[in-house]
A and B are shown apart, each in its own frame.
Chain A
Amino acid sequence: MPSISREEVAYLAKLARLAVTDEELDTFAGQLDIIIGAVARVGEVAADDIPPTSHAVPVVNVLRPDVIRPSLDRDEVLALAPAAEGGRFRVPRILDEPE
């Protein structure tokens, strides 16, 4: 019994916005099954009362004074975008997407 099915991999790819091919799904499903089987070993460690570590050093919010300072040049930034129009990023249609 594999730990992850081809259908689950297809669903995860959709969530991750990856239009994977059928061939990739075949390859990834087998590889991810092996990888998940290996990483599942973390479950062998008894750690119920152990606090999780998200960062190795203590992390605190860092604030800066609320003063105006130069930012990136708008035209320079938009020139690096895939598409721009009227001083803004131009994006593909975002409404009325067929599901």
Chain B
Amino acid sequence: MSDLVRLDAASLAAEIAAGNASAVEVAEAHLDRIAATDDRVHAFLHVDADGALTAARAVDERRSRGEELGPLAGVPLAMKDVVVTRGLPSTSGSKILAGWRPPYDATVSARVKAAGIVMLGKTNMDEFAMGSSTENSAYGATHNPWDLSRVPGGSSGGSSAAVAAYQAPFGIGTDTGGSIRQPAAVTGLVGHKPTYGGVSRYGLIAFSSSLDQAGPLTRTVLDAALLHEAIGGHDPADSTSIDAPLPALVTAARDGARADLSGLRVGIVRELSGEGYEPGVLAGFAAAVTLLTGLGATVTEVSCAHFGYALPAYYLIAPSECSSNLARFDAVRYGLRVGDDGVRGLEEVMSLTREAGFGAEVKRRVILGTYALSSGYYDAYYGQAQKVRTLISRDFAAAFADCDVLVSPTTPTVAFPLGARVDDPMAMYAADLCTLPASLAGTPAISVPCGLSDGLPVGLQIMAPAQADDRCYRVAAAVETAVAGRDGRPILAAAPPV
């Protein structure tokens, strides 16, 4: 394995800027690493070697002309397939979009390119981002680099596996109910879900529009802040985009790395622990709390009484929105069409196409959402879930009156074995237990590696008020520094070679 693939994004950018490595050499090293490992990991659905080398050459030429390069110019990236990329396959993990090459770029894709970041390809995911293991992909499961018999989390499991396997220094994920944070936790990475509206949703293939957010999956907190600053900020093409500057995220990450949290008020959410949580996860979390105290923070326990209802509320709201969003797959304008024999009518062709093009989990959620929105059930299900959403936001507001950040484990368990939960939807949904409250409230939350349980990584979730993403980065960077100090190495360094 080339030494270049061991470097984090900030270090690679520095090497390229200093002329110690060319962007083409960096891209080639990562493409070689993908070629050498992806038969076992299956992180990528599509590797764009030609496009990556072309983009890398452009960075090298700009450098040779003496042009000023951005802080991530020449750094390779793994892009989740839910993000639309002009001319490149963008399937969202679904057969219904097989072969589609979109005629435009998502804002996230356009900003990645504008930053001189080199996109290596598109990564695997649960179909339409519905899942917690990447096993719901129509193109086969992705394997966790820590233990190839286990899941890499989901739905952004292709990006998490790629970064943990050193195929890319960082990646883009999307998070609707935990799909950045949970994969980060179970692969020993940093993953941040921005404040809702902080990163443009234009060109994200929609799952649940009131919840979907794109964000970084990285090996260091600083890299996450750098990538977030590159893709975030107001976008007129997304009506839910916040029209305000991002907080100073990179500054916060650098500040946090000095490992001083004196005066910081940290709340432990009582409802996010106990039954259903593995002892090893709770031990890792307790050790992280000890580190926070050692860093100077004041730690208290807080109660958020309605967080226990986040899971039922989420699994009404998200399926309802997805049943509406996925109506666009109507076999007319793009994607698959099945059964068009000149005799069958539109409705039958549409039904046959959706039956052939969607996987089981997508069908389950579309049917569930159709049920929850139907007259007679609307008030009891979707309407009531929206009220619970209000109460969860109020719980956050009350807790943030006394605390600067809230903490919990990111996931109740470490990475589970492939196949263990595929036939039990409720068991799969439970993987999102800790990440759902921040999703419903639209507040930012980060997962940072904090320990190992039987040799597998455990994540600490740090939650902050809306538009205070900088607090997540500051505290996460302090924890990252303290963990490396405690263990003598970063968590990811404990991963066995793939």
Contact = CB atoms under 8 A, between A and B. Distances in A.
Nearest to B329: A17
A19 B352 contact: yes
Interface stretch (B65-73, B183-191, B353-361): B353-361
Nearest to B331: A82
A47 B345 contact: no
A35 B442 contact: no
B384 A47 contact: yes
B347 A17 contact: yes
Q: Identify whether the interface residues of A are mostly helix, strand, loop, or mixed.
A: loop
A54 B210 contact: yes
Contacts of A38: 311-312, 315, 426
Q: Identify whether the interface residues of B are mostly helix, strand, loop, or mixed.
A: helix
A52 interface: yes
A12 B35 CA distance: 45
B346 interface: yes
Contact of A52 (B331, B352, B355, B383): B383
Q: How large is the interface on B (under 10, 10 to 19, 20 to 34, 35 or more residues)?
A: 35 or more
Given A56-B441, A62-B236, A89-B332, A32 B306 contact: no
B347 A97 contact: yes
Interface in B295-340: 306, 309, 311-313, 315-316, 323, 330-337, 340
A20 B355 contact: yes
B332 to A, nearest CB: 6
Interface in B95-121: 100-104
A54 B346 contact: no
A46 B372 CA distance: 19
Contacts of B345: 92-94, 96-98
A47 B387 contact: yes
B227 to A, nearest CB: 22
A20 B440 CA distance: 31
B103 A72 contact: yes
B442 A13 contact: no
A91 B332 CA distance: 6
Interface of A: 4, 8-9, 12-21, 24, 27-28, 31-32, 34-36, 38-45, 47, 50-57, 59-62, 64, 72-73, 76-77, 80-83, 89, 91-94, 96-98
Interface of B: 100-104, 195-197, 210, 236, 239-240, 242, 306, 309, 311-313, 315-316, 323, 330-337, 340, 343-352, 354-355, 358, 360, 363-364, 366-368, 370-372, 374, 380-381, 383-391, 393, 425-426, 440-443, 466
13 contacts: A4-B371, A12-B374, A13-B363, A35-B368, A36-B371, A39-B315, A40-B312, A61-B239, A76-B103, A80-B103, A81-B333, A82-B336, A92-B345
For the complex of A and B, the 10 pairs showing the least CB-CB separation, nearest first, are A56-B442, A52-B386, A82-B337, A47-B387, A19-B351, A19-B355, A97-B345, A62-B239, A39-B312, A53-B389
